[in-house]
Structure 1
């Protein structure tokens, strides 16, 4: 799988929101305005771009069966894969803390607008999903993991700014009473997911 194919697949075909419905809580809660959606989307791109390659190195040289063989033949049989969840989440939490400090220092207004949802990126299942899918796909190198992380982040970013733009317009639309709020948001999300599914037929 070449880089361009992997990049396009991770954005459109294997989109974290529309294909796997990962990170829906932040997607629904922070997509009321474009400003907060862009801020959180950019933070997710940054966190996925850093954590997926870092977790790839962690998995390759520490966690998977035989990963410790670089320390010597006596360590070749050690299997630390049972620590994957804990280690992946620790890396994600550390990167989210870094993002939180950067946003608070350089964009305090955005930090206040995002509120609790910025630190909640640490438990955003899209971020952990990126690391677990990376492990499942068994990429041959860190360059593939980086491509996948950036692509997955961009896919999540496109999803949240897309729904935010639509929700801002819907405010002025005549939506039936029972569908106002989350109801119409879920319907639009389903329609957007169908649109993204059209990319499944593309071969690069």
Structure 2
């Protein structure tokens, strides 16, 4: 598989949110404003990219040689938790406004199934280190794109005169479904 096909597939065709339904909690929770959506996207991009590389290295050079593959999930969760804590400390010191905007969702990156899912998918797909890095970054971009588009839609929905029963979560879920169907249109693209 070429790197271009990994990139296009991860961002559009098999989008982590719309196709694989991973990362739905921050997708719905942080998508009220585009600024916080982009901040969360950047934080998730950092964590997914680093966690994917570290998880691949641990799987290849520690777990597989020692026959400890059954510890994969636990080890990956510990790596992700460490990275999120590191990110939280750095953001609190350098960008306190973004840290406040993300609020409770920043520590929730630890339990974001998209982060763990990407680390496990890289191993299941049998990618080498560069392919794993490419897939991690591309999937993160796809996550950020989905979050940013959805936040833009939700900002516009706040300005629309909607029936009271449709305001908030109901219209957000309907729009998320329509976006997922729109991204399904990319599945007809043949790459490589």
Shared fold per TM-score greater than 0.5:
yes
The 3-state SS of whatever aligns with 2:190 is coil
Residues 1:174 and 2:140 aligned together: no
Provide the residue aligned with 2:170 in structure 1: 183
Tell me the TM-score normalized by structure 2.
Answer: 0.96
Cα root mean square deviation, aligned: 1.0
Alpha-carbon distance between aligned partners in 2 of 1:63 and 1:178, rounded to the nearest angstrom: 51
Runs of 4+ residues deviating >6 angstroms:
none
- Per-residue CA deviation, residues 35-57 of structure 1 (Å, 9 max, x unaligned), is 11110011111111111111111
- Per-residue CA deviation, residues 158-200 of structure 1 (Å, 9 max, x unaligned), is 0111111111111111222222111111111111111111111
- Per-residue CA deviation, residues 15-45 of structure 1 (Å, 9 max, x unaligned), is 1110111111111111111111110011111
Tell me the TM-score normalized by structure 1.
Answer: 0.90
Provide the residue aligned with 2:81 in structure 1: 93
Of the two, which has the highest radius of gyration?
1
Alpha-carbon distance between aligned partners in 1 of 2:99 and 2:146, rounded to the nearest angstrom: 21
State the number of aligned residues.
191
Equivalent position to 1:143, from 130, 134, 144: 130
Residues 1:53 and 2:40 aligned together: no
Q: Which runs of 5+ in 1 are unaligned?
A: 69-77
Give the deviation of 1:60 after TM superposition: 1.0
